[in-house]
Amino acid sequence: MSLDEIREEMYNDLIQEHYTLSQDEITDMVDVGMMIHWINDGNVEKIGEDVYVEQTTQWRKEFTMKELEKFYMREFIDKK
């Protein structure tokens, strides 16, 4: 299943489950869910207190969680 297919399935499930939410709120929930999946899939390692490294930077660049969120959004969400 492709990333877009997973996003669409999550989006459709959330629409049915949370029909009172706006489209933007559901999209935000999908984006958070996709980031959690990305982290749990081995793409991010925690190396200290609020210090993380990420696979596509070849584990060289250190991020705080806030920086990691911005990185994820820029690299994987905003490029669509």
CB 76 within 8 A of CB 34: yes
Which domain range does residue 16 map to? 3-77
Residue for token pair 């899939």: 41
User: In this model, does residue 79 exceed pLDDT 70?
Assistant: no
Residue environment code for 38-52, b if the CB has 16+ CB neighbours within 10 A, otherwise e: bbeeeebeeeeeeeb
pTM of the model: 0.74
pLDDT, one tens digit per residue, over 17-45 is 888 989 899 888 988 988 999 999 999 99
If one counts the domains in the chain, the total is 1
